[in-house]
Amino acid sequence: MQSSRSKPCSCPSLKLREVASMYFTMVAAFLVILVVALQGSAPRHSDFPYKVPLDPQGLLELSWNVSYPEQAVHFQLLIRELRFGLLFGMSDRGEFENADLAVLWSDGHNSYFGDAWSDAKGQLHMDSQQDYQLLGARRAPEGLYLLFRRAFSTCDPKDYLIEDGTVHLIYGILEEPVHSLQAINISALHGGLQRVQLLKPNVTIPELPSNMKTMEITAPDVVIPSQETTYWCYMAELPAGFPKHHIIMYEPVVTAGNEALVHHMEVFQCAAEFDSFPHYNGPCDSKMKPERLNYCRHVLAAWAMGAQAFYYPEEAGLAFGGPGSSRYLRLEIHYHNPLVFKGRRDSSGIRLYYTATLRPYDAGIMELGLVYTPVMAIPPGEDDFILTGYCTDKCTQLALPAAGIRIFASQLHTHLAGRKVVTVLSRDGRERQVVNADGHYSPHFQEIRMLKEVVAVFPGDELITTCTYNTEERSRATVGGFGILEEMCVNYVHYYPQTQLELCKSAVDPGYLHRYFNLVNRFNDEEICMCPQVSVPQQFYSIPWNTFNRDVLKSLYGFAPISVHCNKSSAVRFPGEWEKQPLPSITQRLPEPVPRCPPAPGPQPAAPVPLDLGRLRR
């Protein structure tokens, strides 16, 4: 939990704490009055614009808003069927151990709310600093609404540090009455996890044109398979002769009742080099799926559970239709059905908003990071192995316009071993700005995220993408590649104006990797076959992964020259020398962000808040 716990910071003087205490008391009192005033009616949707179901049955629904001036998140939890309480909280990867929790519990007669934490064994403890601040609780026809507040950072080492990127939310339902917090047995709870981006960017929504049209790319009344995980593919087709338009916005269309089953969705455009694509409606991993559908990989839209509508900047739109653009689209839906519901029908998808009045700029998508190649590998048994891909100054100098480009959104991507991803903009050897970062990245939660601020990239700049992997449960090396058990390190950045540069990535020079294999052979008793017919993956699989071999590989990736892929959309490199290029030299790093701890509302006893919820029954 070290990476997500609040970091030490200076705390305010007692005088300031007293003033803050009065302020937060007044705020809390006002909100409680507001809750009472709303008795019998649901809070307005606009008060909590972000919403996600926590459990597969939809019995727990979380809504929230983000206050950047207050540096706090306000939560509203709707409990449709209240038993004897629940746990809600955050942890590094969705574990119930070492978690930061808000707990509601009841002995059947009296109910309590408190801020708690769990230790490495899952035992609950009341937090000495009550940072989940209860704002109100009330019953409505649809269930119990629980309102509470939590600062991003709290100065409490037992608390989770709420950061940009993915947050793993956990929940547990109390089925039986308990007489104390310590009596709660986490292992016996009915619980689960949900991943969200809590800190949504506070971006201005651009004005939409009056001649805007919509198009829905949706599944055709699919019966969701009765298995936990399904990726469903459906082919759609634009009308013949469909001219060039700009997509300026898109949003999800989720079938009512399936909100907890539709995990994420993407719309891909197919390659223009093919005149036609076969129709298909079925599982993406089926042997019946036509091979040609693998050429539908250009992302037009992507949505994940908890995400809102996606807006393009008013200066740009994503082009589709017209000459050089395929008429064929592939919808991919990830259904997450852990309770194995049978017979559920679904017509979910994505609604595109588009206009024939083209905006000044076409938006583009550029791949940053590592080339999909087995020369980049991760030894087994690693808890935080780092690989880095480079978009070099030489490539941006050649391929970007003099006025530069503006990055406004980003989608990070790895396969199953990925744990962290970050892209940093460097200029003249100095790190200038984080483009996008996710310190709790999950390969099971990937979405296109609008950036809090547009990032300007100019010719000669470098874009450096670093991925951290965990292979503790693997027994052999993990190599780069397209397979799900192979690895990737990618940032798909969305920018304008569109250029010819579609891919700016790197990999270690193959010749230097060959020297590494020779070195391993020389210093190990076991011989690694260096025969030409033996593939790079096979050579990695045969390495005995002692400390020496691990450390030398890490060192190799940290100093060896790289092969740079500075590619046009045709997959052809820009003219130039791209092999054995030196690693970019970074002379000045960005400082680590220091959490800003808010004024604490005065010393508070480590005691729960009593709630009058009446007598609870099984």
Integer Cα distance of 225 and 235 in angstroms: 18
Integer Cα distance of 62 and 76 in angstroms: 6
Q: Indicate which CATH number applies to the domain containing 420.
A: 2.60.120.230
Catalytic residues: 231, 413
Integer Cα distance of 520 and 528 in angstroms: 8
Quickly state the pLDDT bin for 13 (edges 50, 70, 90): very low
- Least confident piece of the model among 1-15, 107-121, 446-460, 576-590: 1-15
Domain assignment present for 18: no
Q: Indicate which CATH number applies to the domain containing 117.
A: 2.60.40.1210
Structural domain span for residue 371? 365-593
Of the candidates 70, 113, 110, 65, the one whose C-alpha atom is nearest the C-alpha of residue 89 is 113
Element (H, E) at 179: none
Element (H, E) at 159: none
- Least confident piece of the model among 30-44, 74-88, 231-245, 434-448: 30-44
pLDDT at 401: 97
Instruction: List Cβ neighbours of 222 (8 Å cut-off, separation of 6 or more).
Output: 232, 234, 281, 333, 345, 346, 347
Q: Indicate which CATH number applies to the domain containing 344.
A: 2.60.120.310
Same domain, yes or no: 140 and 258? no
Last residue of a domain, one of 155, 179, 200: 200
Quickly state the pLDDT bin for 412 (edges 50, 70, 90): very high
Helix (H, G, I), strand (E, B) or coil at 537: helix
Same domain, yes or no: 462 and 528? yes
Last residue of a domain, one of 147, 170, 200: 200
Quickly state the pLDDT bin for 187 (edges 50, 70, 90): confident
Of the candidates 337, 350, 331, 303, the one whose C-alpha atom is nearest the C-alpha of residue 232 is 331
Domain assignment present for 305: yes
Same domain, yes or no: 515 and 381? yes
Domain assignment present for 8: no
Same domain, yes or no: 63 and 146? yes
Q: Give this prediction's pTM.
A: 0.87
pLDDT at 125: 96
Domain assignment present for 45: no
Same domain, yes or no: 90 and 212? no
Higher pLDDT, 606 or 207: 207
Average pLDDT of the chain to the nearest whole number? 89
Q: Could you please report the per-residue DSSP string of 8-42?
A: P-PPPPHHHHHHHHHHHHHHHHHHHHHHHHTTTSP
Domain assignment present for 10: no
Q: Where are the strands (E) in 153-209, listed by range? A: 166-173, 190-197
pLDDT at 12: 42
pLDDT at 430: 97
Report pLDDT digits (tens) over 363-406: 999 999 999 999 999 999 999 999 999 999 999 999 999 999 99
pLDDT at 618: 62
Q: Angle at which helices 510-523 and 547-559 pack, to 10 degrees?
A: 160
Integer Cα distance of 245 and 286 in angstroms: 33
Of the candidates 110, 82, 119, 130, the one whose C-alpha atom is nearest the C-alpha of residue 180 is 110
Same domain, yes or no: 429 and 454? yes
Integer Cα distance of 76 and 312 in angstroms: 29
Task: Identify whether the C-beta of residue 134 lies closer than 8 Å to the C-beta of residue 43.
Answer: no
DSSP 569: T
pLDDT at 36: 34
Statement: residue 478 has pLDDT above 80: yes
Statement: residue 168 has pLDDT above 90: yes
Integer Cα distance of 251 and 232 in angstroms: 19
Integer Cα distance of 177 and 108 in angstroms: 6
- Least confident piece of the model among 7-21, 164-178, 321-335: 7-21
- CB neighbours (10 Å) of residue 437? 18
- What's the token pair of residue 113? 């709310």
Same domain, yes or no: 347 and 424? no
Task: Identify whether the C-beta of residue 312 lies closer than 8 Å to the C-beta of residue 407.
Answer: no
Same domain, yes or no: 439 and 337? no
pLDDT at 30: 40
Same domain, yes or no: 330 and 415? no
Domain assignment present for 615: no
Domain assignment present for 489: yes
Give the number of domains in the chain.
Answer: 3
- What's the token pair of residue 191? 């619980």
Report pLDDT digits (tens) over 64-77: 999 999 999 999 99
Same domain, yes or no: 176 and 209? no
Percentage with pLDDT > 70 across the chain: 89
pLDDT at 23: 42
Statement: residue 38 has pLDDT above 90: no
Quickly state the pLDDT bin for 522 (edges 50, 70, 90): confident
Last residue of a domain, one of 167, 200, 233: 200
Same domain, yes or no: 383 and 496? yes
Same domain, yes or no: 310 and 385? no
